[in-house]
Amino acid sequence: MEMTKGKTRKDGIPEALLSGKGAPDISVKSTGHPLDTPEAQEKLKKLMAWRRQARIAQADNRVEMAIDEDFYDGIQLEDADLQILKNRNQPPLVFNITKNTVNWILGTERQARIDSRVLPRKKSAADNAKSKTKLMKYTQDVSKGEYAKSRAFEDCVKAGLGWLETGVRKNDDEPIFMRNESWRNMWHDHLGLSLDGSDYRFIIREKWIDLDVAAGMFPDREGRLKTIAEHVNTLYPYLPDDTIITDIASEFDLESSMDALFGDTGSKRERIKFVEMWYRMPANVKLMKMRSDDTPYGVLHNAIYRPEQEDHKYLVRGGYFTLTDARILTVRCAIWAGATLFQDILTPYNHNRFPFTPMFCYRRSRDNMPYGVIRDLRDPQADLNKRRSKALSLLTANRVVAEKGAVNDKKEAFEEVNRADGWVELNDGKFEKFRIQEENEVAAAHVEMARDDERFIHSISGVTNDAEYQKRKDLSGVAMDKQLFQSQTAQGIMFDNMYLALQTEGEIRLSDIEQFYDQEKEYRITGDQHKDEFIKINEKKDDGTISNNITETKADFVIGKQNFKDTIRQAMLDTLTTMVTSLAQSMPEVALKLLDMVVGMMDDLPGRDEIVARIRKINGESAPEEEQTPEEKEQIKQNEQLAAEKQQFAEKMQTALAQTELANKQAEVNAKNAKAMRDTIEAVMKRLETFLTAIQAAGSLNIPPEVATAADNLLAEANQIISGNQTATNEGTGGV
């Protein structure tokens, strides 16, 4: 290929390339390969145009991002400044306050790494969601995910943008991985406005790969790869700060310049620059819809139907899913190098999202370009270096004002004046004509202005001296805590953006787990105190059912936004401890019930979980449901059943006691009534006896018949009264 001639920039890139004009013909001859067809080449041109536009739009800001990182690494003086200092005999000093400031922010993130969990979408899937929570921890541990997150956050704070990659690979025991990707290798859609990349049309990764590795990836294109390969020996070829190098410029014949730089190419590595673009393209597809009542929860519900996959065909053929026509933005992955397209496929992921998650620090309002904490610190940091260097120069160098002829050798006199033990011999009568001027006052002014720069660095970054634990004697503990709270509040934006990135990455990884963990397997989860727990997923039972089926239902990923303000958490702990201590004096049983909560908030306490478990055995409290093991759940169920039985027995005993007490009271009343009745009967009987005696005594008399009849009636009535009252008495006393 031959480059179009014309005006070039100072970095050597033709202006015609930056404007998209004068580009050479990059078309390739058709070889019969499906990716060399005219249609494929037209798509490649479109993708390359998108890439070129993004690179041009972001190029200037990426130079600034590289400079931001240099400031952290102590590379803070430009070549022009170094030359000026050298001409002045002024030492090129760097007082890197920026690094310590940024390290405080990075250390805060590492000390406050957050936890996460998976929530079920329905109650019956609660146990399944807990298994997914443990699998999320497992995939993070095997991928060293905590360190990947910290590296992405480090890029975010320094340069303004970090990247997390979440995907699946076939060449490892564990298919799902997460890792950090350098921002220098990544380009994104500059027209997208979202912080999570949900409205991006494309995301690009560019990496240099050795020729033999590339040939293993695409063995059917090995000949083309050898043609494209270049001799590269640098980490970021062509320009170290990754400035404006367009796709066309990187594909020209730069081998001669490499030869001039490195000499013989025989010992240099042959490498290929691959461009990997994940992009969204509208397409007519068929979506899978569940027939059952679990429609919102099925993992494959609303997934793109892929007829080449046997499980998709089986589920549709079996009537479990129906197909619906839809037009959506599908995610595709294209890989090319030079002008050769090596891959263009539909995304293998059911979530139909990009596998890359951006983590922004700040974004410029005018064009959404990212920048980090260091961007605002560069000016005061550069001024601080100059002030300190100038002050030191003024303190160590002396200015001499002398009349001509005051000394015989001016050079020797100059050297002696600037020595600590210098000796200057003046000519006769020239003592008052030779004067050494010290610039101590000017040097002091520069030092004070340098201190102002340092204070401004702490102020603008939100990291004050007190936040760095440089205690001041004139501040109370409460005042220092307030300053620390204000400092951490100023950093809330970047941490909130980090939470959003981790939430997005977690959703992608959970979807991958639900899609690719479809085989029976046992995993070991390492918990606190090095206690290992083993879980089985997709376990096949003898009756043909599958226990703990990960791929059965969808779940939701949430992060626990742990408060990164340690002093706030400590204040809450102190308040709760004081309350429990006061309760221990008046209501010790209540204090005992709250003791496990107090210890549970002590994150830095060694063996905290074991201590909490023992306290709960004493106070009878249970762990939160999401933290309970199956054995603990079963024990709690048995305890609840036993407590219910005890309660039921107590209620029956209470009822029986109440009935007995009532019966006793009724018996007492009946007894009193029976005694009164007996007294009445006895009185009646005595009267009857008297009456009968009188009748018997008058038996010899001639008594009229009506008198005898009245006596008989009276006796019958008395017997009836006695009989009736006796029955009532027996009924009232239970026949006693």
- Whole-prediction pTM: 0.68
What lies within 8 Å, CB to CB, of 606 at 6+ separation is none
Tell me, what's the pLDDT at 708? 56
Kindly tell me if the per-residue pLDDT of 469 is higher than 60.
no
Top pLDDT among 582 and 480 is at 582
| Least-confidence region, from 16-20, 53-57, 61-65, 176-180 | 16-20
Top pLDDT among 392 and 642 is at 642
> CA dihedral defined by 212, 213, 219, 220, rounded to 10 degrees?
-90
Instruction: Tell me what the mean pLDDT of segment 659-683 comes to.
Output: 72
Top pLDDT among 641 and 399 is at 641
CA atoms of 702 and 31, how far apart (whole Å): 159
Instruction: Tell me what the mean pLDDT of segment 289-313 comes to.
Output: 80
Q: Where are the domains positioned within the chain?
A: 581-628, 634-732
Confidence band (pLDDT; 50, 70, 90) for 531? low
| Structure-token pair, residue 612 | 């909490």
Confidence band (pLDDT; 50, 70, 90) for 687? low
Confidence band (pLDDT; 50, 70, 90) for 150? very high
What lies within 8 Å, CB to CB, of 522 at 6+ separation is 534, 535, 536, 537
Range with the largest mean pLDDT of 462-466, 513-517, 724-728: 513-517
> CA dihedral defined by 710, 715, 718, 722, rounded to 10 degrees?
-160
> Tokens 């249970």 label which residue?
622
The kind and range of the H/E element at 322 are strand 321-337
Report the percentage of the chain scoring pLDDT > 70: 64
Top pLDDT among 712 and 733 is at 712
Tell me, what's the pLDDT at 57? 94
Top pLDDT among 656 and 730 is at 656
- How far CA 586 is from CA of 112, 581, 594, in Å, comes to 37, 10, 14
Kindly tell me if the per-residue pLDDT of 179 is higher than 70.
yes
CA atoms of 412 and 616, how far apart (whole Å): 85
In angstroms, the first-to-last Cα distance of the chain is 126
Instruction: Tell me what the mean pLDDT of segment 66-85 comes to.
Output: 89
Confidence band (pLDDT; 50, 70, 90) for 438? low
Tell me, what's the pLDDT at 538? 80
Ordered DSSP codes for 520-558: -EEEEEE-GGG-EEEEEESEEPTTS-EES-TTSB-EEEE
Range with the largest mean pLDDT of 11-20, 479-488, 673-682: 673-682
Q: Where are the alpha helices (DSSP H) in 175-271?
A: 211-217, 222-228, 255-262
Kindly tell me if the per-residue pLDDT of 473 is higher than 70.
no
Tell me, what's the pLDDT at 10? 45
Instruction: Tell me what the mean pLDDT of segment 569-573 comes to.
Output: 61
Report the percentage of the chain scoring pLDDT > 90: 26
Closest CA to 270 of 228, 230, 236, 237: 230
Top pLDDT among 523 and 56 is at 56
Mean pLDDT of the chain: 75
CA atoms of 539 and 648, how far apart (whole Å): 40
CA atoms of 431 and 30, how far apart (whole Å): 92
Instruction: Tell me what the mean pLDDT of segment 326-341 comes to.
Output: 94
Length of the chain, in residues: 736
Confidence band (pLDDT; 50, 70, 90) for 58? very high
Q: Residue-wise over 577-615: b if at least 16 C-beta within 10 A, else e?
A: eeebeebeeeeeeebbbbbbebbbeeeeeeebbebbeeb
Top pLDDT among 636 and 216 is at 216
Instruction: Tell me what the mean pLDDT of segment 422-444 comes to.
Output: 63
Confidence band (pLDDT; 50, 70, 90) for 445? low
Tell me, what's the pLDDT at 11? 42
Instruction: Tell me what the mean pLDDT of segment 396-417 comes to.
Output: 68
Tell me, what's the pLDDT at 694? 61
Tell me, what's the pLDDT at 240? 40
CA atoms of 496 and 493, how far apart (whole Å): 5
Confidence band (pLDDT; 50, 70, 90) for 429? low
Would you say 385 and 185 are in contact if contact means Cβ atoms under 8 Å apart? Answer: no
For 264-300, the pLDDT digits (tens) are: 545 568 889 999 999 999 999 999 988 766 555 578 8
Sign of CA dihedral 173, 498, 330, 32: negative
- How far CA 698 is from CA of 693, 694, 709, in Å, comes to 9, 6, 15
Tell me, what's the pLDDT at 287? 93
Helices 145-159 + 492-516 axis angle, to 10? 140
Range with the largest mean pLDDT of 24-33, 259-268, 471-480: 24-33
Kindly tell me if the per-residue pLDDT of 485 is higher than 60.
no
Tell me, what's the pLDDT at 455? 72
For 613-626, the pLDDT digits (tens) are: 777 777 777 666 65
Would you say 554 and 297 are in contact if contact means Cβ atoms under 8 Å apart? Answer: yes
- How far CA 380 is from CA of 50, 182, 364, 368, in Å, comes to 38, 27, 20, 24
Give φ, ψ of 686 to 5 degrees: -65, -40
Instruction: Tell me what the mean pLDDT of segment 694-706 comes to.
Output: 55
Confidence band (pLDDT; 50, 70, 90) for 315? confident
CA atoms of 394 and 387, how far apart (whole Å): 10
Kindly tell me if the per-residue pLDDT of 5 is higher than 50.
no
Tell me, what's the pLDDT at 584? 77
Tell me, what's the pLDDT at 418? 63
| Least-confidence region, from 53-57, 336-340, 618-622 | 618-622
* Angle 50-54-55 from CA coordinates, rounded to 5°: 115
**DSSP single-letter state for residue 208:** E
Would you say 168 and 177 are in contact if contact means Cβ atoms under 8 Å apart? Answer: yes
Kindly tell me if the per-residue pLDDT of 702 is higher than 80.
no
Kindly tell me if the per-residue pLDDT of 64 is higher than 90.
yes
The 3 state secondary structure assigned to 349-388 is CCCCCCCEEEEECEECCCCCCEECHHHHCHHHHHHHHHHH
Tell me, what's the pLDDT at 187? 96
Kindly tell me if the per-residue pLDDT of 439 is higher than 70.
no
What lies within 8 Å, CB to CB, of 300 at 6+ separation is 288, 290, 312, 315, 321, 350
Kindly tell me if the per-residue pLDDT of 239 is higher than 80.
no
Top pLDDT among 131 and 371 is at 371
